[in-house]
């Protein structure tokens, strides 16, 4: 039985995460935090708290990004919550810590939001994905492009709150996550 660890924000927590045990089947044991991994610095800090839970993972699937790319929280619509350099630096720190546990690490790109959502910009999300993905690939991390899964179907895959996955979006992302995990 392979142990799978799922880390990530609410796209995982209330989106695809609850579906994963069924999608992966009995050959996989799934552990995921009951906590929202929020922004990358929060995830980095929590890796210390979760060290016993994740230490024997065969595969780790992880995402951060929606919190980090949030804009307009304090009346500054152009400034993301986490600046680009800080985001990349901390994402690489998380990646390196996860690689100490297993070489089988998958990063899921940040999903788009409804274009009318006032606290995230799809342009910023796209930019953060673009600057991070090549650096993670250099470390040998596989990329699960959930952004591309959701983007053509925003109206169907993003729910009424304009941010989180709908049931259809959670299913589509869950199937993509299971497919990537089963490739190991």
pLDDT digits (tens, 9 = 90+) for 95-138: 999 999 999 999 999 999 999 999 999 999 999 999 999 999 99
Span 41-45, average pLDDT: 97
What pLDDT does residue 75 have? 79
- Condensed to tens digits (0 to 9), the pLDDT of residues 44-70 reads 999 999 999 999 999 999 999 999 999
What pLDDT does residue 72 have? 83
- DSSP letters for the chain: -EEEEEE-SHIIIIIIGGGHHHHH-TTEEEEE-SS---SHHHHHHHHHHTHHHHTT-SEEEE---TTTTB--TTS-TTS-SS-HHHHHHHHHHHHHHHHHH-S-EEEEPPPP--TT-TTB-HHHHHHHHHHHHHHHHHTT-EEE-HHHHHGGGHHHHB-TTSSSB-HHHHHHHHHHHHHHHHT-
Q: What's the CATH number for 2-182?
A: 3.40.50.1110
Instruction: Domain ranges for the chain, please list them.
Output: 2-182
Percent of the chain exceeding pLDDT 90 equals 96
Instruction: Name the residue among 48, 54, 52, 41 with its Cα closest to residue 7.
Output: 54
């Amino acid at each position: 039985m392979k142990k799978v660890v799922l880390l990530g924000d609410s796209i995982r927590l209330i989106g695809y995460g609850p579906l994963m045990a069924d999608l992966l089947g009995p050959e996989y044991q799934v552990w995921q935090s009951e906590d929202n991994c929020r922004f990358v610095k929060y995830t980095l800090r929590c890796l210390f708290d979760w060290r016993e839970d994740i230490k024997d993972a065969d595969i780790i699937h992880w995402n951060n990004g929606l919190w980090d790319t949030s804009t307009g929280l304090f009346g500054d619509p152009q400034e993301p919550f986490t600046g680009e350099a800080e985001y990349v630096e901390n994402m690489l720190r998380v990646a390196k810590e996860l690689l100490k546990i297993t070489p089988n690490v998958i990063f899921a790109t940040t999903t788009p939001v409804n274009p009318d959502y006032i606290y995230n910009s799809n342009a910023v999300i796209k930019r953060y994905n673009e600057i991070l993905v090549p650096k993670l690939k250099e470390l040998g991390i596989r990329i699960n492009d959930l952004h591309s899964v959701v983007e053509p179907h925003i109206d169907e895959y993003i729910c009424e709150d304009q941010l989180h996955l709908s049931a259809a979006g959670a299913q589509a992302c869950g199937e993509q996550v299971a497919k990537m995990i089963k490739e190991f």
